[in-house]
């Protein structure tokens, strides 16, 4: 099984470098003495959806949050190895983490709309990130990003009403619009549909498929049907290792490892 995993990783590393936006090399992560990730090697393709799957506690979120250095704030967290986004070494401790998060945005499990108007939810990151920006341009960006997040038509008549008064699915699309305002290259999604009903979930899935035209999407999901529906590539995590990774079609139809096969059958 280990040999099969290595050959897949090597194959990925050989892919056209232009198509790769994030490369992860020999990455390890610890919380205190707990080795949460072991020797992860992975290439994440540009303008594609990559899904991280695997049982609970196997390191998916740890890797996701390491990609934009969100884990830096956790007491006892440390890592080794290299994560690069294009030519930027995001694991370089001298880099400003805010700068990294401008390029690598994140959307969380539960919609975290701010308790303010829909308009102000988007205005806030815009004024924080683009100094001296004109009001007219702020308006334009807000409308553009609400449209990109497939939300504009549903909220255009209540932009100045509270963001907390819209549905959970709409709030999640608002959070996606907010992440888009600063023009990231990559957007990380940590189980973005786990608190949503099936209809709201399908809307987010459709949106992610649209977003990959402009952005690179990485998603942690426990929903295998979701990964199957939307992911181009899949990485299967087990006990802190990436056991298998590759094209979604291949992962779901002809997995190499018994562990992945068992996971897909719901045995583990």
Ligand X SMILES: Nc1ncnc2c1ncn2[C@@H]1O[C@H](COP(=O)(O)OP(=O)(O)OP(=O)(O)O)[C@@H](O)[C@H]1O
List contacts with ligand X (CB under 6 A). Answer: 31, 34, 36, 54, 56-62, 74, 237
CB of 62 to ligand X, least distance (A): 3
CB of 90 to ligand X, least distance (A): 18
Q: Judged by CB, which is closer to ligand X: 237, or 263?
A: 237
CB of 223 to ligand X, least distance (A): 11
d(CA 181, CA 105): 10
CB of 263 to ligand X, least distance (A): 12
Structure tokens that stand for 184 in this block:
């990231």
Q: Judged by CB, which is closer to ligand X: 59, or 169?
A: 59
CB of 189 to ligand X, least distance (A): 13
Q: Judged by CB, which is closer to ligand X: 62, or 248?
A: 62
Q: Judged by CB, which is closer to ligand X: 177, or 217?
A: 217
Q: Judged by CB, which is closer to ligand X: 54, or 255?
A: 54
């Amino acid at each position: 099984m280990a040999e099969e995993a290595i050959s897949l990783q090597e194959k990925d590393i050989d892919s056209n470098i232009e198509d790769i936006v994030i490369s992860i090399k020999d990455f390890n992560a610890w919380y205190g003495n707990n080795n949460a990730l072991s020797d992860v090697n992975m290439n994440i393709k540009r303008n594609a959806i990559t899904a991280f799957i695997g049982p609970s506690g196997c390191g998916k979120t740890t890797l996701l949050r390491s990609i934009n250095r969100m884990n830096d704030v956790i007491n006892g967290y440390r890592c080794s190895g290299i994560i690069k986004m294009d030519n930027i070494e995001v694991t370089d401790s001298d880099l400003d983490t805010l700068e990294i998060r401008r390029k690598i945005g994140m959307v969380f499990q539960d919609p975290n709309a701010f308790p303010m108007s829909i308009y102000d939810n988007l205005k806030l990151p815009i004024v924080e990130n683009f100094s001296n920006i004109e009001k007219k341009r702020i308006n334009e960006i807000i409308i553009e990003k609400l449209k990109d997040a497939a939300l504009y038509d549903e909220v255009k008549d209540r932009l100045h009403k509270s963001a907390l008064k819209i549905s959970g699915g709409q709030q999640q699309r608002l959070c996606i619009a907010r992440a888009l305002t600063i023009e990231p290259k990559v957007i990380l999604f940590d189980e973005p549909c786990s608190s949503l009903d099936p209809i709201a979930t399908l809307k987010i899935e459709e949106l992610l498929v649209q977003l990959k035209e402009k952005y690179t999407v990485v998603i942690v999901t426990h929903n295998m049907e979701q990964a199957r529906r939307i992911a181009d590539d899949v990485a299967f995590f087990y006990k802190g290792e990436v056991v298998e990774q590759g094209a979604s079609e291949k992962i779901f139809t002809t997995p190499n490892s018994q562990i992945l096969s068992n996971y897909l059958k719901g045995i583990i």
